Chains A and B, each alone.
Chain A
Amino acid sequence: MVPSRKTVHSSATPALPQQMLALVMSALAQDPAGGWMAYAVGKMPSKYARITRLEMTWTVGKDAKPSKAFYSPWFGMDPDDNLNLVQPVNPWGGNAWSMYTEYFQWRPTHNSNSKQYKVNAGETLHGS
């Protein structure tokens, strides 16, 4: 996903260079993206060409306090260039959990999501 932008914008800085900088940053962006906190990455033996199936199960977390925060635990996978992320996601949207699958492509940028379902704390999710 697109990295978080922590740039502090200054009114003294011309707009065009900032736009160019954003374009350059976007062109260079890839996973792991800004905003990822802790993560585990797997290394597949080189004797294999590709992962053909990946499955996991987890329990939806306890409800957080209501807020405007949003975040998600998820698992997924990328090709070697880290530009095509497939992921079952489990976002907290500030007052409820949901689940769906997402595809995020960095170049050219493309995003597709499957149907979103509400899911409750303590329920079990199985992704593949």
Chain B
Amino acid sequence: MYNKNEDSYLLSQQIVETGAVSSQTVPCQDGKKYTIPYIVYEKLFPCGDYPPDGIVTFRNITAECDGVDCTKDIVWEAKVKDANCNMAARIDYPQPGEISITWDTSMPSAYDGLSYDDLEALNGQSGWGKSLVQSRRQVEI
């Protein structure tokens, strides 16, 4: 949620069943305006390593632009950056207003031949992937 006075966003995520909340405030760098929403499935591994349900659905999607409900004004487009395991974004699926990402755990993958060390190097360059790899190494020490 945008805070106009501080030119920042409050990022928050809650486990609905437990009420646990994780949040942080992020200042906008150099007054930049956030304009591009994404829904993503990220990091490249063999298909059998992904969850067996083969789908995650983002629902109750709501957006405000300049403080006004703009949920239905946003036009979503499905794309693929790095193809793997037939990962696909599906707009208005399974219900109107919902967006799902689907995959096939039975497919071969271009990453089948890589070791997990190679896959860590491939996927752990920065962000949450890097943090996760670093925390693993601390545990190993």
Contact = CB atoms under 8 A, between A and B. Distances in A.
B104 to A, nearest CB: 12
A102 B27 CA distance: 13
Contacts of B49: 64-65, 67, 69, 71
Contact of B13 (A45, A50, A127): A127
Interface size range on A against B: 35 or more
B131 interface: yes
Interface size range on B against A: 35 or more
Contacts of B41: 36-39, 71-73
> In this complex, which of B12, B20, B63, B79 has the most chain A Cβ atoms within 10 angstroms of its Cβ?
B63
A97 to B, nearest CB: 9
A78 B124 CA distance: 21
Contact of B62 (A4, A55, A102): A55
Contacts, number: 344
B65 A1 contact: no
B42 A72 contact: yes
Contacts of A105: 29
A99 B22 contact: yes
Nearest to A116: B22
Contacts of A48: 35, 65-66, 68, 70, 73
Given A44-B70, A99-B22, A50 B35 contact: yes
Given A1-B42, A38-B88, A65-B48, A113 B29 contact: no
Interface string B34-70: 1111111111111011111100111111111111101
Contacts of B74: 42-45
Contacts of B99: 40
A42 to B, nearest CB: 4
B14 A126 contact: yes
B12 A101 contact: yes
Nearest to B81: A36
A1 B1 contact: no
Contacts of A51: 2, 34-35, 37, 63-65, 70
Nearest to B69: A53
Interface in A33-86: 33-45, 48-59, 61-65, 67-86
13 contacts: A35-B81, A40-B78, A42-B36, A51-B70, A57-B59, A58-B56, A64-B50, A68-B136, A69-B43, A69-B50, A75-B58, A100-B13, A123-B18
Given A2-B125, A39-B101, 5 more contacts: A36-B40, A41-B36, A70-B43, A79-B35, A101-B13
